[in-house]
Amino acid sequence: MTIASALEMALAAVVLGMAIWTVVARDSFAAVVGFVAYGLLLALVWVRLDAVDVALVEAAISGGLGGVLLLGAAARTAAAESRPPAEHPAVRAAAALLAAAVAAALAAAVLLLPDPAPTLAPAAAANAASTGLGNPVTNVLMAFRAMDTLLEKVVLLLALVGLWSLARDRFWGGHPGPRHRADPHGTLAFLARLLPPIGVVVGVYVLWAGANHPGGAFQGGTILAAMWLLALMAGLTDTPAISSRRLRLVLVAGPSVFLAVGLGGLCFGAAFLAYPAAYAKPLIVGIEIAMTLTIAATLGLLLVGAPERSAE
């Protein structure tokens, strides 16, 4: 039993403890706080599994933005925290049995995984020269499985449209979320003036470094979205009206550029989304820049919710 194994077991135990807390806590707000802590600890687990890109995404999106989303929802529905009756004991016992069976089956599957495991790593390494990027995960996301990433952008847009469709008829086309007003000389406004310049630099750096080091468009876009949300919450800026043409252009920029490059690959190259070898890196970087803007705007808008004020 090495020290590393002992530390990993301790980490796994703490993560499990947080997960149990999230399920059994009495108060919704406490459960959500537990979930946020769980997400951040899970990022450490991802680092131990040698997946630093995923750790960044987990901490930023699941822990950070997901935490803000759920905390906001818990706070807004706290008034309705009626104590609904807990499920019938028979249902709880049956659910516990089902959960235990599923967990046991998955644990058996983990212990029976083949060793050496089948893997696509050699194929990814062999084809890395075609794009010239050093980060294998970025290679997979932007070149080998680019179709998945393109469709994922569309899924993000669909979720946003679905969220907007929940607005009341008279607010359609208006501003999402309430207008926040913080003391312009207070602490929050101070932070919202000081942190976003630093955050924007860090976000752009994470995007740029994603070519050869852990990072990429998703992580960078999330940091940019977080800075925008900070400025929003301090009342320094207001959400744009969803009928604004500029906003809609930014939202479709990512998928459009991606689709255009894909169709270009169809016309001038071998197949849809095939990059010509000489231009692969500039094309990928261009797509990533457009994607980062779209991701930042979409994630931010997903968080502020459906329009609640009409556009004046």
Partner 1 sequence: MKFMLDIVTVTAISAGAFFFLAGTVGLLRFPDTLTRLHALTKADNLGLGLVVLGLLPHAGSLRGGFKLVCVWLLALLAGATVSQLIARSALASEGSGSFTVDGPQP
Partner 2 sequence: MSAATIFGLCAAVIVGLGLYGLIVNPQPLRKIVAFNLLGSGVFLLFGVVARKGAAAGFGGDPVPQAMVITGVVVAFSATALAVGLLLRLFAAGGLATLEPDAPTRAGTEHADS
Can you give the binding site for partner 1, defined by CB under 8 A? 187-188, 190-191, 194-195, 198
Can you say how many angstroms the Cα of residue 234 is from the centroid of all Cα atoms in its chain? 23
Q: Taking Cα atoms as reference points, which of 296, 254, 293, 267 lies closest to residue 146?
A: 254
Tell me how far apart the alpha carbons of residues 109 and 103 are, in angstroms, rounded to a whole number. 10
Is there binding between residue 45 and partner 2 (CB under 8 A)?
Answer: yes
Is there binding between residue 273 and partner 2 (CB under 8 A)?
Answer: no
191 binding partner (options partner 1, partner 2, none; Cβ < 5 to 8 Å by kind): partner 1
What is the per-residue binding string for partner 2 in 49-68, x denoting contact by CB under 8 A? xxx-xx--xx--xx--xx--
65 binding partner (options partner 1, partner 2, none; Cβ < 5 to 8 Å by kind): partner 2
Choices 112-120, 189-197, 261-269, 286-294 (CB under 8 A): range interacting with partner 2: 112-120
Asked whether 141 and 210 are in contact (CB, 8 A), the reply is: no
194 binding partner (options partner 1, partner 2, none; Cβ < 5 to 8 Å by kind): partner 1
Measured CA to CA in angstroms, residue 162 lies from 41, 68, 172 at distances of: 31, 20, 13
- Residue 194 CB neighbours (<10 A): 10
Asked whether 102 and 110 are in contact (CB, 8 A), the reply is: no
CB of residue 284 to partner 2, shortest distance in Å: 14
Our CB check for partner 1 shows the closer of 40 and 247 to be 40
Our CB check for partner 2 shows the closer of 50 and 312 to be 50
Of the candidate residues 129, 134, 159, 282, the single one contacting partner 2 (CB under 8 A): 159
Classify burial at 301, counting beta carbons within 10 Å of its beta carbon; exposed 0-12, middle 13-18, buried 19 or more.
Answer: buried
User: Residue 213, SS3?
Assistant: coil
46 binding partner (options partner 1, partner 2, none; Cβ < 5 to 8 Å by kind): partner 2
Is there binding between residue 120 and partner 2 (CB under 8 A)?
Answer: yes
